[in-house]
Amino acid sequence: TRSTRPQRMLKAVQKNGTKGNPESVISAIDYFCKHSEWAMNVGDEKGSILDSVVTEVNPSTVLELGTYCGYSTVRIARLLSPGTKLITLEFNPVNAAVARQIIAYAGLQDKVILVEGSSGDLIPQMKERFGIMTFDFIFLDHWKDRYLPDIKLFEECGLLRKGSVLLADNVICPGTPEYLEYVRNSPRYESKYYPAHLEYTKVEDGLEKSVFLG
Ligand SMILES: O=C(NCCc1nnc(-c2ccc3[nH]cnc3c2)[nH]1)c1cc(-c2ccc(F)cc2)cc(O)c1O
Ligand SMILES: [Mg+2]
């Protein structure tokens, strides 16, 4: 059967990237998306904002919702302190298989735990399966209608602590209106919007950073 876009992206990484060099993997994916096929990675503009927030938080426990091809997984993992691992959830097994290979090509497989499944099932298992108490940093980049139910799930499961940082992609495009309304009006969060554009386009988009106040 015909290859998928993530599989064609993987080929481009193997052709144009340098094994073990995360920066070259990031550049190869951005080049592919700008010159060959658009794909829903967070991209270079929003990716730089992601980098600055990760660097500022310097998290010990990290969760990413929505691995896709592993682009943001590589961006985050390359910035983590030695010995720190990130857990990333992917729903689609074909995409997960591509992401594992892209993460491995970047040489970051030892810093990443990629779990296949749905956030609704896996978030309640975080404590028992991975020995997580709370998350220092969470990147939301999965199905946009899951952002609100999942942040409530984090609260219910006691996975947030005073100062936990949640960074959400696509709050304008495709948009997560209910999530935005919740974090911006809840007294339990301090929220800040980072304006940018939909990856590789001129369409307005941005990231919302929300700090849990306890
Ligand atoms: O759908 C997106 N991202 C989601 C991928 C995913 N990869 N894994 C999951 C998962 C993982 C665990 C889950 N548990 C329950 N649902 C789950 C879904 N979701 C997305 C879409 C766009 C986009 C914008 C404009 C357009 F015209 C078309 C598309 C842009 C973006 O930046 C995105 O992130
Ligand atoms: Mg996104």
Q: Is the pLDDT of residue 103 over 90?
A: yes
Residues 116, 94: contact at Cβ < 8 Å?
Answer: no
Burial of residue 60 (number of CB atoms within 10 Å: 0-12, 13-18, 19+): middle
Give residue-wise pLDDT tens across range 39-76: 999 999 999 999 999 999 999 999 999 999 999 999 99
| Predicted interface score ipTM higher than 0.90 | yes
* pTM for this predicted structure: 0.98
Distance 47 CA to ligand 1 centre (A): 16
Ligand 1: residue whose CA is nearest its atom 30: 40
Give residue-wise pLDDT tens across range 111-130: 999 999 999 999 999 999 99
In the residue annotation, 199 being an active-site residue is answered as yes
Give residue-wise pLDDT tens across range 172-214: 999 999 999 999 999 999 999 999 999 999 999 999 999 999 9
Residue 208, SS3 per DSSP? strand
In the residue annotation, 169 being an active-site residue is answered as yes
Cis peptide bond upstream of 174, omega within 30:
yes
Q: Is 38's C-beta closer than 6 angstroms to any atom of ligand 1?
A: no
